[in-house]
Structure 1
């Protein structure tokens, strides 16, 4: 059932990943990839000791996770691509049976609420969990997951520095494939294929911008617009679409400048200075900020970082892959 669900649901279009995604969905249907599936009875016996310090503005440290990873209410979510997940994961890590971009097949926006809810339930998540997301790249797939959860009404945290920092510090790792196969052939819970729905979405349209919504907001100067691409993409010198340039009124805040060299998020003080330097008002007097990039991934890094220091954010999900290929949208080119 899970395989057929995934075969006919949005998947990544890269041929080499197709089979891996289908296998992952089959394995995920057995149960969540966790050795902690001991049932609600045991969970009631184990005190939840991480509520108070769970999230500092949506960010948790590797030290915090090491201390709390065995808490049954903490769920670690791997936002890496399937091959990386199967190769090496953090202990007890789960993964959504969706493409890393969280976009549907032949779609340039995040999957529907029904699809997202189904994937979250298949992974064994619930609304009461303290979900910590990480990835193995440069944080953008983790922040994209953070934004998608926010889009559907659930706040999650990101592991600062992600997989790379965890590994550098000697953190324990597990084989995702070994974990998956162990779960598949174990003689555990006989009802493991009956996935209970404990995760419910609540649509949050405030953080999602379509092309029409952004165009109207730009026309009325109702938002501040942040372009998370490189300076050459922003100016139009590098053109990845039919037309080059940026949305009128946008300020260029490249996604990489929100991060330190080790992949951790810059300090609140540094982020505030970056925002000030870009010309953004202080959060209390600032209109909503809408970020975009080429395809909606990089844009979630400034969205996350600016949200952390108090700004109201949104993401133009289709980004320049839609805007710069449309005929009647305005573009400013500085090349």
Structure 2
């Protein structure tokens, strides 16, 4: 079985980024599906975790008739997960490499959002794995089963909900984008800046400097959050550029640190910037 290095969360979501994958004990588990979500096909072909199926994280998003790079609808997500060999009863291990840890956390989030209960992300990603365990070039043969999305709206907030949460006591917005994007100093969107009151905690502050696919020790992350006066009991909304960066901090806060009320604003700044809702620029002004 998967060897866990920290306490499993009550939601049965395996502790993200704290999993040691052992080929010899997992290779024959018919209920385990391994998803290699790296975006360059030749990287997968050149070597991968044994029995891993490659499905690029970019395959999970596209235009929705107005906004770009939004998560696909339930029908398309069902098709993607089914084609990848995932069923509703699968245990799923996800990995990518380097800064694309965000792709791994994004796919893990979408699995949770779709009703899968047993999910893990490989600590250290492919770089960490190949440093100590054998890799494969053979492609696994499998028969796609049936996957049905069992939507969990409780993991996310809509634009209307965001509108009602801005400035509300007990609510904290965390924005993990780079500082210049948060401050509105780069001219990318029609309106640039951040949601008023948001805290800017760039996502790399959670990860190892030498391997962005590996988390810093949880004690260090806890200290960082305490220094920023992030109350674990707050209602926390993580929002970023396109809903991808937010997934890493969502996963860490909810499933590793067990913060009870953490959700993602999937539309993030791509959607928010198209509205007439208030925009703040410059350094954060949170109390």
Which TM-score tier does this pair reach, normalised by the shorter chain?
0.7 to 0.9
- CA 244–125 in structure 1, closer or farther in 2 if over 3 Å, else same: same
Pairing partner for 1:127 from 74, 82, 88: 88
Matched, 1:246 2:246: no
Aligned to 2:78: 117
Q: Comparing 112-121 with 65-74, which one deviates more in the overlay?
A: 65-74
- Number of aligned pairs? 267
Aligned to 1:295: 242
1:101 deviates by: 5.8
Distance in 1 (CA, whole Å) between partners of 2:21 and 2:145 is: 29
1:136 deviates by: 1.9
Distance in 1 (CA, whole Å) between partners of 2:113 and 2:193 is: 27
Q: Which runs of 5+ in 1 are unaligned?
A: 1-48, 184-188
Looking at CA atoms only, which structure, 1 or 2, has the larger radius of gyration? 1
Matched, 1:163 2:126: yes
Matched, 1:144 2:94: no
Matched, 1:333 2:251: no
Alignment map for 1:49-198 (pairs within 5 Å): 49-50=1-2, 56-57=8-9, 58-59=15-16, 61=18, 63-66=20-23, 68-72=25-29, 73-83=31-41, 84-96=43-55, 100=58, 102-106=60-64, 107-138=68-99, 139-155=101-117, 156-169=119-132, 171-175=133-137, 179=139, 183=141, 192=143, 195-197=144-146
- CA 101–277 in structure 1, closer or farther in 2 if over 3 Å, else same: farther
Q: Which runs of 5+ in 2 are unaligned?
A: 10-14
Q: Which has the higher helix share?
A: 1
Q: Which has the higher strand share?
A: 2
Q: Deviations over 1:99-133 (max 9, x none)?
A: 52621345432111221122212221122222111
Distance in 2 (CA, whole Å) between partners of 1:205 and 1:137 is: 30
- TM-score under structure 1 normalisation? 0.72
- Is contact 2:35–2:95 with CA below 8 Å preserved after alignment? yes
Aligned to 2:265: 316
Larger RCO, structures 1/2 (Cα 8 Å, 6+ apart):
2
